[in-house]
Amino acid sequence: MAVGIEALQTLEAPPWLGAGGLTRCRQALGGKLVRETWKYSPLPKVTNALLAADEHQGPPVGALPPGVALHRFDELDVPPTLGIDLNRYPLAGIAAARAGAGWLIDVKRTPSHPLRIPAPALGVSAPLLVRVAASCRVDIEQETVQTTDNADFGAQILVLSLAADSEAHWAAAEFAPTADKWCLLQAHLQRNAALTLNHQGTVSNFLRQDVNIVLGGQGARLASVGAALVQDGGRLDQQLVIEHASGGTVSRIKQHNLAAGRSRCTFNGRIHIHAGASGADADLSNRNLALDPSAEVNTKPELEIYNDDVRCAHGATVGQLDAEALFYLQSRGLGPQQAQRLLSLGFLRDGLAGPYAERAAEAFAAHFTSA
């Protein structure tokens, strides 16, 4: 593969990658597992951009509320483990090697207000680990912030580690940043931990989101609701791997994506139910609308189930607007174009939740009023 092999050779692996970590990443880059999940996105280009981009060394966040502490990985006696599968996510190893030491946000008490962590649109950010202590709850808000008008490249790794009975709500938004971006969200949930995810926004760049949620402890729960409007030739590629590794784990995922104009969106949702996960309950729904004939949608449900005692629903649809609903609106006096706009907007808004919902709804509405 035509990646900057030389740059790769000279990279130094951070301690958490372990001996031979980078070698493994290099090998995985050419492997089948990675090739399959990069079917619709240019892996060599992204790898090269990752190698060429500037790095961010500064702390990811300013003042923190009481009970929450910020540490650099290399200041800690024992460097934390991120639990990222480098065979699946070799870019994570490269990004971490580029950006140097990562940052740990240690949540030992439930903070009184949400943690706002800006996500720089440009450059490679050091990995950020948010560790939530048992029975604590944290809300994290992360908006991609465009720092310059020059289209460039950004990379970001966020790892959430939820102890037993803890709760986290991660809300992320982007409003048409111009820089291309790769990001990985990795989460590990212990017994009865609960994670809520909301990702929403407008995408007019290249955005690749890798998401790996490991429901590791008995009764751990994931609820994810998201919506994206992909416009102006944008390319959205979402790759989810949800692992039900213990019994009684629950996942609920709803993602509504709309491809307008000559844009493309890809969604690959894989539910993996491990042998020991009796009583696991998974429900994934991905709906896509292709508004124009030149828009492209790829969606692929994937199920891997190694236990008979599970409930699993997986739906992926690509479609046009519902004819019944169109007629209902027209029968009330709305012209066909207005009816289409309203239904498209409704489809997107149906995938909104969390603190950015209102702004996302406004951004969607703006698209349809200017269109």
Partner 1 sequence: MSLLEVDGLYASVNGEPILKDLSLRVEAGEIHAIMGPNGSGKSTLANVLAGRPGYEVTAGQVSFNDTALVDVAPEARAQAGLFLAFQYPVEIPGVSNMEFLKAAWDSHLAAQGAQPESAVGFMKRARALATSLGLNPEFLKRGVNEGFSGGEKKRNEILQLLLLEPKLAVLDETDSGLDIDALQTVAAGVNRFRSADNGVLLITHYQRLLNHIVPDRVHVLNEGCIVASGDKHLAEKLEAEGYAWLSG
* 8 A C-beta contact, residue 14 and residue 32: no
Based on CB atoms, which residue is closest to partner 1, 150 or 331? 331
Nearest of 230, 288, 294, 229 to residue 262 by alpha carbon: 294
Cβ at position 273, least distance to partner 1 in Å: 29
Our measurement of the distance from residue 84's CA atom to the centroid of its chain's CA atoms, rounded to an integer in Å, reads 14
Question: In the complex with partner 1, which residue's Cβ is closer, 105 or 339?
Answer: 339
Tokens of 155: 């990379």
Q: Which structure tokens are listed for 153?
A: 């490249």
* Binding mask of the shown chain, residues 252 to 281, with x at each position contacting partner 1 by CB under 8 A: ------------------------------
Could you tell me which residues come within 8 angstroms of residue 56 by beta carbon, excluding any fewer than 6 positions away? 99, 120, 123, 124, 125, 126
Dist. CA 69–CA 215, nearest whole Å: 25
Residue 350 makes contact with partner 1 by CB under 8 A: yes
331 binds partner 1 per the rule CB under 8 A = yes
Residue 348 contacts partner 1 per CB under 8 A: yes
List binders of partner 1 among 14-53 (CB under 8 A). Answer: none
Alpha-carbon distance of 25 to 18, in angstroms, equals 11
Single out the segment in contact with partner 1 by CB under 8 A; choices: 63-71, 82-90, 188-196, 333-341.
Answer: 333-341
| Cα gap 150→178, rounded to integer Å | 8
Is 328 among the residues that bind partner 1 (CB under 8 A)?
Answer: yes
Q: Is 345 in the site for partner 1 (CB under 8 A)?
A: yes
Closer by beta carbon to partner 1, 306 or else 328: 328
Q: Which stretch binds partner 1 (CB under 8 A): 118-126, 168-176, 272-280, 342-350?
A: 342-350
Instruction: Return the axis-axis angle of helices 90-99 and 21-29, rounded to nearest 10°.
Output: 130
CB of 348 to partner 1, least distance (A): 7
The verdict on 305 binding partner 1 (CB under 8 A) reads no
In the block, residue with structure tokens 């030992």: 108
In the window 156-185, what residues touch partner 1 (CB under 8 A)? Answer: none
Q: CB-wise, 268 or 344, nearer to partner 1?
A: 344
8 binds partner 1 (CB under 8 A): no
| Cβ nearer to partner 1, comparing 312 with 325 | 325
Q: Which two tokens stand for residue 126?
A: 């050091």
* CA atoms of 87 and 124, how far apart (whole Å): 20
The nearest distance, CB 332 to partner 1, in angstroms, is 4
> What tokens were used for 316?
């992926």
20 backbone φψ class: left, alpha, beta (φ>0; ψ -120 to 50): left
133: number of Cβ within 10 Å: 18
Q: Which of 336, 358, 362, 371 binds partner 1 (CB under 8 A)?
A: 336
Q: Which is nearer to partner 1, 11 or 223 (CB)?
A: 223
Enter the tokens of residue 261: 């104009």
The span of 58-66, 89-97, 140-148, 325-333 binding partner 1 (CB under 8 A) equals 325-333
Is 359 a binder of partner 1 (CB under 8 A)?
Answer: no
Is residue 62 within the footprint of partner 1 (CB under 8 A)?
no
Q: Is 335 in the site for partner 1 (CB under 8 A)?
A: yes
The number of residues making up the chain comes to: 371
- Told to check if 362 binds partner 1 by CB under 8 A, we report no
Cα angle 203-57-163, degrees, rounded to a multiple of 5:
75
Q: How far is the CB of 351 from partner 1 (least distance, A)?
A: 8
Parallel, antiparallel or unpaired: strands 103-107 and 68-72 = antiparallel
329 binds partner 1 (CB under 8 A): yes
Kindly list the distances between the CA atom of residue 285 and the CA atoms of 86, 193, 243, 270, 273, in Å, as whole numbers in the listed order.
27, 22, 16, 11, 17
Number of residues that bind partner 1 (CB under 8 A): 24
Exactly one of 334, 355, 359, 368 binds partner 1 (CB under 8 A); that residue is 334
Per CB under 8 A, residues contacting partner 1 are 322-325, 327-336, 338-339, 342-343, 345-350
